[in-house]
Each structure stands twice: as structure tokens, then as C-alpha cells.
């Protein structure tokens, strides 16, 4: 079982994985993604774009109303809400990038968030994943695309091993 440790110490990550999975499963592979891959993917997502443009539009409207002779309480409130949404989105991306753990077990692929206890973020049975596609990164970290479920493993150091493990255990 190959592991890459960045955010958690090796013993902590192994302990976390054992606490996170079900008793009838065995871990085949687990790792934390490279932060920069998660950041770039989530930063370019539609929801982040929505919050970013919403905040910019509200800021421009506030400036325009101020130039034309006054302040609008309603626009100020909407501006604060959109700015707050953008800040919360950036905090979520940071949290996701630092606390996400991918675990491939004998039965499923699970995305866990490390917290006081493991939080199951996403879970897919192995037979529903389909054929993975690997995108080799320039930095030595790969993204493994899972087109059948519309998801991906971002920034894994051993993408070819993950790809072969998924294919090898789908019909077991």
C-alpha cells in the first residue's frame, strides 16, 4: 500500500484511515491531494466564479451610486453579503485542500475530510466508477478523472497505481 504524507504525519494518517473506513473494508490506497491542484480546480469552479463576479458587480454598483450622489443601504447590505460569500468560499477551498483524504478500499472510493472525527464527504462504489483516465501533471502529480461519476482525484503522486488499482478491483 503506497502512501504520500504531506499534511498529516504518517502514523496519524494511517490511524485516520482505519477510523474512517468500515469494518468490512480494507484500504488499498490512501493519500492527501496536492493543495495546489485542489486550489486551482475549486478556484475555477462555477460557484467561485459566481461569488467573484457578484462581489465585483456589487462593488461597482456601490461606487456608481456613491458617485451619483449618495449611499444605498440595500446595496451596502448586498455588498457585505456577497463579499462574505466570497470569503467563505475561499475558506472552504482552503479547508478542502488541507483536510481532504482520498481512500480507495476493497469496496469503494471515499473522500473524507479530516476533522475531530472523519467526515465522509463523497463515496462511490468501485463498480460505479468506470474506467479512470489519468492526466499527467508537470509537477509530478497526476489528476485521475472518473468520467462515469463526474468526479476526479486531484494531485495524487501515484496516479498510475491508483488507476490500475481501480480497474483491478472493480469486478472483484
Q: Which domains does the chain have, with CATH numbers?
A: 1-172 (2.30.29.30)
pLDDT grade for 4, boundaries at 50, 70 and 90: very low
3-state secondary structure the chain: CCEECCCCCHHHHHHHHHHHCCCCCCEEEEECCCHHHHHHHHHCCHHHHHHHHHHHHHHHHHHHHHHCCCCCHHHHHHHHHHHHHHHHHHHHHHHHHHHEEEEEECCEEEEEECCCCCEEEEEEEHHHHCCCEEECCCCCCEEEEECCCCEEEEEECCHHHHHHHHHHHCCC
Q: What is the pTM of this model?
A: 0.81
pLDDT grade for 6, boundaries at 50, 70 and 90: very low
The whole-angstrom separation of Cα 131 and Cα 134 is: 10
- Is the per-residue pLDDT at 107 higher than 50? yes
- Is the per-residue pLDDT at 58 higher than 90? yes
User: In this predicted structure, what is the pLDDT of residue 169?
Assistant: 85
Phi, psi of 110 (to 5 degrees): -125, 140
User: In this predicted structure, what is the pLDDT of residue 1?
Assistant: 44
User: In this predicted structure, what is the pLDDT of residue 172?
Assistant: 60
The whole-angstrom separation of Cα 33 and Cα 91 is: 17
Amino acid at each position: 500500500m503506497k502512501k504520500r504524507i504531506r499534511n498529516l504525519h504518517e502514523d496519524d494518517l494511517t490511524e485516520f484511515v482505519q477510523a474512517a473506513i468500515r469494518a468490512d473494508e480494507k484500504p488499498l490506497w490512501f493519500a492527501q491531494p496536492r493543495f495546489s491542484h485542489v486550489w486551482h480546480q475549486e478556484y475555477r469552479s462555477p460557484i467561485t466564479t459566481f461569488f467573484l463576479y457578484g462581489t465585483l458587480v456589487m462593488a461597482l454598483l456601490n461606487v456608481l451610486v456613491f458617485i451619483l450622489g449618495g449611499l444605498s443601504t440595500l446595496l451596502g447590505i448586498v455588498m457585505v453579503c456577497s463579499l462574505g460569500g466570497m470569503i467563505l468560499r475561499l475558506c472552504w477551498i482552503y479547508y478542502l485542500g488541507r483536510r481532504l483524504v482520498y481512500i480507495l478500499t476493497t469496496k469503494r472510493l471515499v473522500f473524507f475530510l479530516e476533522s475531530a472525527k472523519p467526515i465522509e464527504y463523497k463515496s462511490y462504489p468501485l463498480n460505479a466508477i468506470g474506467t479512470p483516465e489519468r492526466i499527467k501533471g508537470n509537477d509530478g502529480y497526476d489528476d485521475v478523472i472518473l468520467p462515469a461519476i463526474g468526479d476526479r482525484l486531484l494531485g495524487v503522486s501515484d496516479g498510475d497505481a491508483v488507476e490500475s488499482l481501480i480497474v483491478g478491483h472493480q469486478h472483484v
